[in-house]
Amino acid sequence: MPVSLEWADQAAAPGTLRAELHWEGRPGTAAGITSALRNWKLVRFEATEDPTPGSDGVRYSFTPSLGVFSGVIGANGDIMVPEDRLRSVMANAAVGKATLEHELDRLLGTPWDNELEPFRRAGDGAPVRWLHAAV
């Protein structure tokens, strides 16, 4: 369905705008939103799906300098790191390709959180619209 966003000044970056939208849809919708928005090279965003019965949650974050981060979200809101990704990080750290701390931060999305946090806080009091889609 078509969406109309309410844009407001972004206090964290004067001269830019922000919009926020809460939505509901079938699992996989956040991936589609992320695929579309990541092509807008100058935009920062997050798209999050809550876990549902039979489907893990997922959070996508994007910044122009870092690109896309995706993390599986558990029922309690924590990022869940798959075993194969942990093993890869440990192997890279063991041979000196990267530090374990740096790689674990990337697995948890820390660089994206650090870059996006000022923009999140700048949205206090910003208008929010809820979007409901029939499945």
Rounded Cα distance, 37 and 45, in Å: 8
Question: Using 50, 70 and 90 to split pLDDT, how confident is the model at 74?
Answer: confident
What mean pLDDT is predicted for residues 13-21?
88
Closest CA to 74 of 92, 94, 49, 105: 49
Rounded Cα distance, 105 and 124, in Å: 26
Residues 22-64 have pLDDT tens digits of: 888 888 999 999 999 999 888 999 999 988 888 889 999 999 9
* From 7-11, 79-83, 96-100, the region with the lowest mean pLDDT: 7-11
Closest CA to 64 of 35, 40, 33: 40
pLDDT of 70 higher than 90: yes
Closest CA to 47 of 37, 56, 39, 55: 37
At 48, the amino acid letter reads T
